Structures are given as C-alpha cells and as structure tokens.
Chains A and B, each alone.
Chain A
Amino acid sequence: MHFYRAHVLVCAGTNCSLRGSRAVRERLAGELARRGLDGEIKVVETGCFGLCEQGPTVVVYPEGVLYCRVTPDDVPELVEEHLLKGRRLERLLYRETAAKAVQTVPQMDFFQGQVRVVLRRCGVIDPDSVEEYIAHGGYQALGKALTQMKPAEVVEEIKASGLRGRGGAGFPTGLKWEFASKAKGDVKYIVCNADEGEPGTFKDRLILEGDPHAILEGMAIAGYAVGARKGYVYIRGEYGLSIQRLERAILQARELGLLGEDIFGSGFGFDVEVRVGAGAYVCGEETALFESLEGGRGEPRLKPPYPTEVGLFGKPTVINNVETLANVPPIIQNGPKWFRQFGTERCPGTKVFTLTGDIVNEGLIEVPMGITLREVIFGIGGGIPGGRGFKMAQTGGTSGGCLPVQLLDVPMDYDELAKVGAALGSGALLVMDDTHCIVDIARVFARFFEHESCGKCVPCREGTMRIHEIVCRIATGEATPKDLDNLEALARTMALACLCPLGQAAPVPVMTTLKYFRDEYEAHIYEKRCPTGTCRTLAGRPALTAAGKGV
C-alpha cells in the first residue's frame, strides 16, 4: 500500500462545485504533477464539509489546515508555501473575525459544539471509494449484526438507543422495525426516503453525496432486522450527484459481496435499487412515495393500515429517512448506551441541521439534540450578517413554525419545539433579519403549499388556495379584519380534516407568524402599511409610524 505524506481534501459537494472547486482540483493535480509531488501528496475529492458559505474549501492533512474561498490562481502559491515549504498560507486561512485567523479545523468555533455522528465521514473520505469507507470503519456494523446478532437483537438495540425518525415526524425507529419484523408475510421491503423536498433542507443530499455507503449499510442492517431482502432508495430527480454516487456505491458493494446473496457468509441476502422521483413535494410523505414507486400519481393513502403492515406493493415495509439510516451503523457498532450520551433523554443522539437565510455560516451542521436555537444561530451559525437584528427563525422547513426572539432559548428537539407550535421537522433552519416583512414571507409559504398540494383531498386543495389568496390580499392592502378570522378558521379545519401531513402542516407557518407578529399583519390590514416597506403596493404610502421606511 502506498503512503502519502499529505492529503489535500477538496470539497466536491454541490455548493463548492458551484463555486468552482473542480477547477481548483484540476489545477492542484496539475501543479503537484509539475513539481513531481504527485507521488507523495494525494488529492481527495470529498463530500460536503459543511462550510458552504466559505467554499471552495480545501483542507490539508495531517495538520488539518483549512483554506477558504480558494481559486485556481491561488493553487501554485498554496502548493509552494504549504506543501513544499511547510508554511501556512495566511491569506487563505479561515477567519472568524478579521483579526483572528483559525489555523486548523478543530480550533474553529464552527466545529466547537458540533458532534459528528452522521457526518463523521462527510468531507473526510472520498465518497466514490468503498475502500476509504471501509478504512473508516464502514461495514463493520453490518458484519457485527450478521455474524454476532440475531435479527431480534438488532431491533432491540435500535429500540434501546431511542433513535427517532429524522425525516420530521420523530417516530421511534426501533418500534417501526419491530412492527415490521412481526408483520406476517415472506416479502418485506426497506425503503429509504431520499425525496428531500422541504425548502431549506439539503442534509440528505449532502449525506448521500458525502457518505453513500452509510445508507446502504443502514438499509442492509434494517433488512436483516425485519426480514426484508430488497431495498429501494427513492431520490428526487433534481439530485443528480446523489443518484450518481449512490449507484456507484451499490455497484461497489455488490462487487465486494456487501450487497447481494449470502453477505458475510451468513446466508442473508439483500440488494438495493435506486428509483428516481419526478418532481413532487408530496412524495416525501411515505404513502405517496409508495404510490410513486409503484408507478402511479404520488397521492397519499389513508392510514391505517400503516406501512409496517401494508406498505410498498401491499407488503410490510419499513420506510426510514436518509439521516435515520445513517445513524444505524454507529448504533450497532457502539451500542445504545454510547448513542444515548448525546442529546436528551427523550430525544437521544444528534441532529443534522441546514442553516439558511440571514446567517453568517450558511451550511450543514450536526449538533446534539436539545441544543438551543440561540446556540445554533449565534454560536455555530456565527450570528446575523451586517450587524442587523434577528427577527425570526423557522424550524423544520416551510411546513414548520416561525419563532420570534423571545423563543430563542427553546431547546431544539421533537417535543420541546412541538410545545411552542413549531417542529424540528427535517432540520431546516431559516433565519430572517429585521429587514424582512412577515406578511411577504407568509405569502411565499402559502404559495408553496398551493403549488404542492396534490389535489386528492378537498380541505388541502381548496384550503391552500384560499390561504394564499387571503395572504396576498393582506400583502396588497385589500384585506379586511374578517380575513384574519377566516384564516384562523381555515387553519383549524385543515389541521383536522386534511388527509396527510402536507395539508395538516400547511397553515402552520402562517398561523405561527400570525401568533407572534400579529401587529405586522394588522398594520397591513388596518393602516394599509408595510412596516418594512417590502410589500410594494403598500410601499410608498405615507408611513403612519416611524417604523415605515418605504422602498
């Protein structure tokens, strides 16, 4: 085996690729070859490193020095200084403040407070190399499960870990597996839900791009636990790189006998197939996803029966989110007790969040469950850019609730967020500064649901449209006070009567903004004024208070 004196990790995630990481990589390879260093320094393409706002990022190991916003023209100097002369290139080091340059990855505030279980290999290994996955402990958990544990013991371990579904609903994963394992039938399925469509969420994409084998390993363990021999990964059609990497990973795993017949000589066989979605948010709902996988319109089914009894093709099915499955191998490998050291009693483990909007460090983070919103936004996230004030944060994507400044100290887990009318959901976190208008953003939320309602049930099909109409009327100053009552009545009806979580959650963002920012709605209705000057038909009208600035 060849040893290298240094490894240069270049992020090849979508965000860094958009910022030109491929050109950096090519220049680096050319420069190393030109100087005859290619035999002693290895360039590795990795998945997302998480610091999307600072891309393209380059990390040089063994020291772990992080360089940010690297351009191809920086490469010759970087090679000359760091790799040849052993001096750090100061001007490209990551800076937390203008004066403070961070030397190495572990010293960064961004990583202090983060606990990487799911993302431990993202940005570290080459996702196209099964050998690197195995070298980082990959497939050991599958080996342990198949050779040392009975299926029921695997289910018990997952139950004992307290792992809850990371797709948004937070249902106990071990319980789901137990139901499926006890369901009658010879044919069962494991489905990985990678139809990540919640606006503001891109964690599953980055896990699939950065560590695709982890999902295959998690699915195979699930298959062994419940007695399924076939798995499907349903990925949204927009995620080209994820599809490509996962398909390559499947071929590699089959070649090594890690998928297919008689894995590890245990007699257990399991295989995985990728199915690509065709653009429908509702297919993230599990029964709609089954309909789509079966070749139909992605419309949700009535529950019960639940998927663990009657799922894909009418067979007992375990459907888990990408992040949930990525948690499975480390739990099997290290045990439930290890897993429970992170997070809270009722919500153990970590959670991957994607930070978007008005926040300094946009990108991907992984933190223990129960961390407060304030720690995430003002600690790891680096706060609000441009010295502006915090207005609100939306957790859980567009179907989540909006939280004002007085709720910044709420712990981020399934139960605590539910208490304040919000949801942990998929882990999206959208931060807005005080220049944004609440009614304007509510209009965007409402339009999204009108667009994505599948049309199967009336309360959702009609309700999402009416909510959008009302919020538009408020934004243009044509609303009456009665409209607020209608909004509230609609929201109550939809929460009770809609068939699936899409419709049930559709009023949540509008209702939470109404709850916490009612004065702003009222300014639009009673004073025909947009306090931030965002709603243009109202902007330019004389401001009634000092707050209106007009645009």
Chain B
Amino acid sequence: MLIPMGGERMTDKAKPVLDLGRIDEIVSRHKGREGALLPVLREVQDFVGYLPREALERVALGLGLSLSKVYGVATFYTLFYTEPKGRHVIRVCESAPCHVQGAREVVEALQKELGVSFGETTPDGRFTLELVSCLGVCGVAPAIMVDDRVYGNLTPETVVAVLQEYR
C-alpha cells in the first residue's frame, strides 16, 4: 500500500510515496530482537530520509508498541528527524574545544552564507543547519559534519569552500 506524503521538501533519498512494504520488511527483519526499536528507526530513516508520522505508525503496529512510545523515542534523539530535512544536513559543533579554537566565527560565516539559523533549512531545500554537542574530532577543532563526512580545522573562509562541494 502506498500513501502520498505531505512534505514539500524531499531529500535525495526520500520517495514521493511512502513504501509501507519496505517498512514492514525492515520491521520483520528486526522483530523479536531485544531492543529492536532504535535499529528499526535508523533503517527506516535511512530509507525514507526522515520519520514521518505514517512511518512511525507502521513501525508501532509492526513491533506491537504504542505510537506514543515510538514517537517519544523518535523525538528524544538528535539523529532522528520527524520533519523533512534539506538534501544535506550540516552539523556544527560549538562545544568548548571547538569554541576555544574559533567556532563562533565559523558558525557566523556559515549562517551568513546560508542565510538560515540553527534548525532551519535553506529555501532551496539544499542544506539544513543544526547545532550539535560534540562530534568527537576535537583534535581538529573547529569541526563540522556534512551528512556523514567530517571537516576539521575550519576557518570562516574554508567553511564556505566546503559548502561549494555540495552545490
């Protein structure tokens, strides 16, 4: 069964309609495994691009959990999204080690270049900017992560150059 989805922005991975059969397949592969919910949500998000309500309902049904439990988990963790994101998610660290090495200026350059603040997506749907706590690459602070790639030792100039790779 295919249900049309509402969001205007779709990520690269997002399908125009939600493939519930695929979600069922993911659920059935993990069902019965202890603590299956997080691995299931990860895979569903990798497939859909985010976790829309319809997908959460299907996961809840499949795993025999309440929707509120599934929604509660999906909204607790910063790597799960219940709203569509831009094609590329930029995670910016402004924790102390990055801050000391000049993250503030890097963040300002990023926000100026993109024209958005934290939690927002650029109007063309290309980038979503997020503030995260620590990426664990403090040896090359200040650092950001674009999708799965880490960039370190950034300056206001080099961070703008990084964006060009994704345009």
Contact = CB atoms under 8 A, between A and B. Distances in A.
A292 interface: yes
Interface stretch (B2-10, B21-29, B32-40, B120-128): B32-40
Contact of A430 (B100, B148, B152): B100
Interface of A: 14-15, 18-19, 52-53, 196-202, 205, 236-240, 275-281, 292-298, 313, 354, 356-358, 362-364, 394, 398, 428, 430, 432, 436, 441, 444-445, 447-448, 451-452, 454
Contacts of A18: 137, 140, 150-153
B97 interface: yes
B152 A15 contact: yes
B136 A297 contact: no
Contacts of B77: 277-280, 298
Contact of B136 (A19, A236, A278, A430): A236
Interface in B74-117: 76-80, 93-97, 99-101
Contacts of A297: 72-73, 76
| A-B residue pairs, 5 tightest by C-beta | A278-B77, A52-B139, A295-B37, A279-B78, A199-B95
27 contacts: A14-B150, A19-B153, A197-B134, A199-B133, A240-B148, A275-B39, A278-B77, A278-B78, A278-B79, A279-B132, A280-B76, A293-B35, A295-B36, A296-B37, A296-B72, A297-B76, A356-B101, A357-B101, A362-B140, A364-B139, A394-B96, A398-B95, A428-B97, A436-B100, A444-B95, A444-B96, A451-B131
B35 A448 contact: no
Contacts of A205: 136
Given A52-B139, A452-B133, A278 B100 contact: no
B139 A362 contact: yes
Contacts of B148: 240
Output the residue of B39, B69, B140 with the most chain A CB within 10 A: B140
Contact of B38 (A14, A278, A356, A357): A278
Interface of B: 34-39, 41-42, 69, 72-73, 76-80, 93-97, 99-101, 131-141, 145, 148, 150-153
B140 to A, nearest CB: 5
Given A279-B77, A280-B76, A53 B139 contact: yes
Output the residue of A199, A275, A296, A356 with the most chain B CB within 10 A: A199
A199 B96 contact: yes
Contact of B97 (A281, A295, A430, A452): A430
Given A278-B41, A313-B35, 10 more contacts: A199-B95, A279-B79, A279-B80, A279-B132, A281-B133, A357-B141, A358-B100, A362-B138, A362-B141, A430-B96
B148 to A, nearest CB: 6
Nearest to B65: A295
A444 B77 CA distance: 21
Contacts of B72: 296-297
A281 B79 CA distance: 12
Contacts of A452: 133
A279 to B, nearest CB: 4
A311 B13 CA distance: 38
Given A53-B139, A452-B133, A398 B96 contact: yes
Contacts of B133: 197, 199, 281, 448, 451-452
Output the residue of A200, A364, A428, A447 with the most chain B CB within 10 A: A200
B123 to A, nearest CB: 26
B4 to A, nearest CB: 28
A19 B152 CA distance: 8
B140 A52 contact: yes
A52 to B, nearest CB: 4
A472 B153 CA distance: 27
A236 B39 CA distance: 13
A338 B97 CA distance: 35
Nearest to B37: A295
A394 to B, nearest CB: 7
B97 A356 contact: yes
A404 to B, nearest CB: 16
Contact of A200 (B39, B78, B94, B95): B95
Nearest to A206: B139
Nearest to B94: A444
A52 B151 CA distance: 14
Nearest to A313: B34
Nearest to A296: B73
A445 B95 CA distance: 7
A296 B74 CA distance: 9
A53 B133 CA distance: 22
A315 to B, nearest CB: 11
A277 B35 CA distance: 12
A198 B35 CA distance: 25
A202 B73 contact: no
